Structure 1
């Protein structure tokens, strides 16, 4: 059994057992010959021109493993998350926070129940959004995650257009962007997803300036090109083009576990840049300026260097690559958009939380200083 299928099955079993767990599902296939080739390519693909990192953000799981079902006391929320708005010098540690996750089926039906208010988790309040936005940190809501894959399928089948309109309404009302996290690896409903995107864009057209926060619409792809293949192919070919952009950018998600080395992480990202000409149909190359790479903040019961020791982190050792990898068939400027970290606060009862004494000023925060991250986020490169 392929490893990604194992982790998908494990996530289902964990959910059925009622354990507290949420996930950005990942691509973690065996180290195939194509992966080794990509690793070699990633070394060769680093150019001499460096571009600044523009996106430096976290997915935020809340304190209920991505459930967000309970409205937060903002004093308590600040105590748990203050490191995100203050790296120790009064400056935020990130310029983007993505609240994860919204159930797409409940959003479609504008459900109100014990956990949900008019389609949104009760914990995803304007107060939480404003906690970050008043510090210059952009906020987005992520729709989906591996737990809600079947709900994505149901919502797209029932009324994809209305789902897109409802998402746009939330974005406008709250002043946030929207992230598509549809993790259907087998026969995804791409027609429905296109209808969702078309409906969203009918209300909020693509805004290259980034000034309208609600107009920011992004998508999550696997760490490399070997999982979520159909979604990756469609997104790269039609939605993430530099000449006719539809989505702002993609996030290459984390693997099933932290990459073992900078070369391993870069090999995944290089797959997006190179595309897959050996696939049928092919996956075209993705412009480096159209995606971010992701790393973990914690691993099991321990904080990763990304959280507490930036100098030993993948976020530092991959920095030259992320800032200077050259295009290979799409785009003209070197360098990816930046980094996303999985995940702030408590994504799982099986992992430690990024709350004191395990907050991440010395990892993410130090990295923000090292890379001179702009806050607020600057206008994103388009080519």
Structure 2
């Protein structure tokens, strides 16, 4: 009988022990799309809002009148043209002609934050040239455009080999001299972000500098980073592994990359890639934003930050990101995927003041 009692006690022991606490899910705050216009990210033509709406209505209406996203990043501004305030066939005073106040208001009037992205992989050499020529004036010009249009600015400087970090620091310092960091997020023009690689093994020098000096929770300079899409759509496990690299840092690198606070970055997926419509665009139930949602909402700090959970998701890219392949225009609009995620995750619109720790 004693042996039977002991055996029963052993069998019941797991039921009697306290269950480890599960990390509480932190609501997503950033849920947005990069937008390439109708000419593969050039934005060279002025468009009527009627034409624009016909091809992009899903962004402002997920099917029930509510927007599918809370931020749109118009991509891309040419760095040298912005520095020189160039006016030519595709550019007006340094800004692509298609990035008009009407397009900004199309989104902002529905509670969607708007940003302009400077650079992209095509304009890497132009970033180098603008920084080398006059980084501070480049930063001031970016701040002037942000104020004039009521938008934020994204730094998309994709120099993997010996980036000009001194120049980039001067650009950021100049921008912040005009528009100081605003933890409330109330001033759209004060929002200044940066794009990093999907993980810590590309854009290493930029990632190290941004994590160590600009994305700290105690002395923030930039609002947050976007961990960009990798070369092709990842699996759920590969996406999580990439993001975990940012959380962990790279202590074995020389010099090391410090850990990044979960509250200081988003993850990203393709919605338009190749010749097929992605579930991330069309079907939330089968999407990566659904399968990775638990991780993104509960990712634990690993030496930086205090609160769990990444900021949210970004999607590459609305309308026509390349001259070939699928677009997100009807019948391929993304209410079912991106819009479905906005509903499932109760994405706040407009974007609230972001977590700071």
TM-score with structure 2 length normalisation? 0.94
Q: Deviations over 1:285-325 (max 9, x none)?
A: 00000000000002311111010011010000000000001
Aligned-residue RMSD, C-alpha: 0.8
Aligned counterparts of 1:187 and 1:85: Cα–Cα separation in 2? 40
Aligned counterparts of 1:65 and 1:152: Cα–Cα separation in 2? 19
- In the TM superposition, residue 262 of structure 1 has moved relative to its aligned partner by 1.2
Q: Which 4+ runs in 1 deviate beyond 3 A? A: none
Q: Summarize the alignment of residues 329-348 of structure 1 with structure 2, pairs less than 5 Å apart.
A: 329-348=303-322
Residue 349 of structure 2 aligns to a residue whose secondary structure is coil
Aligned counterparts of 1:96 and 1:124: Cα–Cα separation in 2? 15
- In the TM superposition, residue 48 of structure 1 has moved relative to its aligned partner by 1.5
Aligned to 1:128: 103
Q: Does 1:48 align with 2:23?
A: yes
Q: Summarize the alignment of residues 58-77 of structure 1 with structure 2, pairs less than 5 Å apart.
A: 58-77=33-52
Residue 140 of structure 1 aligns to a residue whose secondary structure is strand
Q: Does 1:157 align with 2:135?
A: no
Contact 1:53–1:371 (CA under 8 A) maintained in structure 2: yes
Unpaired stretches in structure 1, ≥5 consecutive residues: 1-45
Contact 1:47–1:326 (CA under 8 A) maintained in structure 2: no
- In the TM superposition, residue 50 of structure 1 has moved relative to its aligned partner by 1.0
Q: Does 1:325 align with 2:299?
A: yes
Contact 1:47–1:325 (CA under 8 A) maintained in structure 2: no
Contact 1:277–1:284 (CA under 8 A) maintained in structure 2: yes
- In the TM superposition, residue 348 of structure 1 has moved relative to its aligned partner by 0.8
- In the TM superposition, residue 369 of structure 1 has moved relative to its aligned partner by 0.3
- In the TM superposition, residue 47 of structure 1 has moved relative to its aligned partner by 5.3
Contact 2:272–2:321 (CA under 8 A) maintained in structure 1: no
Aligned to 1:312: 286
Residue 306 of structure 1 aligns to a residue whose secondary structure is helix
Aligned to 1:17: none
State which structure, 1 or 2, has the greater radius of gyration over its C-alpha atoms.
Answer: 2
- In the TM superposition, residue 183 of structure 1 has moved relative to its aligned partner by 0.2
Structure 1 counterpart of 2:259, from 276, 282, 285: 285
Aligned to 1:356: 330
Contact 2:116–2:151 (CA under 8 A) maintained in structure 1: yes
Aligned counterparts of 2:32 and 2:272: Cα–Cα separation in 1? 15
Q: Which stretch of structure 1 is more off in the superposition, 106-115 or 344-353? A: 344-353
Structure 2 counterpart of 1:234, from 179, 186, 209: 209
TM-score with structure 1 length normalisation? 0.87
Aligned counterparts of 1:162 and 1:178: Cα–Cα separation in 2? 15
Contact 2:272–2:318 (CA under 8 A) maintained in structure 1: no
How many residue pairs get aligned? The number is 337
Residue 184 of structure 1 aligns to a residue whose secondary structure is coil
- In the TM superposition, residue 73 of structure 1 has moved relative to its aligned partner by 1.6
Structure 2 counterpart of 1:197, from 145, 169, 172: 172
Q: Does 1:367 align with 2:344?
A: no
Aligned counterparts of 2:245 and 2:255: Cα–Cα separation in 1? 16
Aligned to 1:262: 236
Aligned counterparts of 1:115 and 1:364: Cα–Cα separation in 2? 30
Q: Summarize the alignment of residues 3-152 of structure 1 with structure 2, pairs less than 5 Å apart.
A: 48-152=23-127
Unpaired stretches in structure 2, ≥5 consecutive residues: 1-20
Aligned to 2:159: 184
Aligned to 1:167: 142
Aligned counterparts of 1:148 and 1:137: Cα–Cα separation in 2? 26
CA gap of 1:147–1:47, structure 2 versus 1, over 3 A, is farther
Residue 185 of structure 1 aligns to a residue whose secondary structure is coil
